[in-house]
Amino acid sequence: MAMSDLDATDPTTANYDAQQLVEEIAAGEEKAPNVDADADYERSKQFDVAEIDRKGQTNSGVPKSTVSSTDANTVATGDPDHFLEMAKQVTPTPDEK
């Protein structure tokens, strides 16, 4: 039984599969998996930082926003009518389309 044959998605067979593997390893029918935690940890470090950050590039490939700061009212007024107006701009009613 290979490690890939184990069905980890079924909790009823997970213990059985693990026990089978232990027995097969003990009987010499299956080779014990070789786990090198230190090497795995060192390899995982390559995913720690994005490649773009390692190269020192900026967000030059990201498109600039099409909304200027003067287009959006970012001041919180607490007035529900302001929210309603914004919602109408984002989702116009069928007769406004």
| Contacts of residue 63, Cβ cutoff 8 Å, sequence gap at least 6 | none
| Contacts of residue 14, Cβ cutoff 8 Å, sequence gap at least 6 | 6, 7, 8
Q: What is the SS3 assignment for 73?
A: coil
Its pTM stands at 0.29
**Mind listing the pLDDT tens digit for each residue in 31-71?**
998 889 999 999 888 777 777 776 766 566 665 656 555 55
pLDDT greater than 80 at residue 75: no
Element (H, E) at 53: helix 51-54
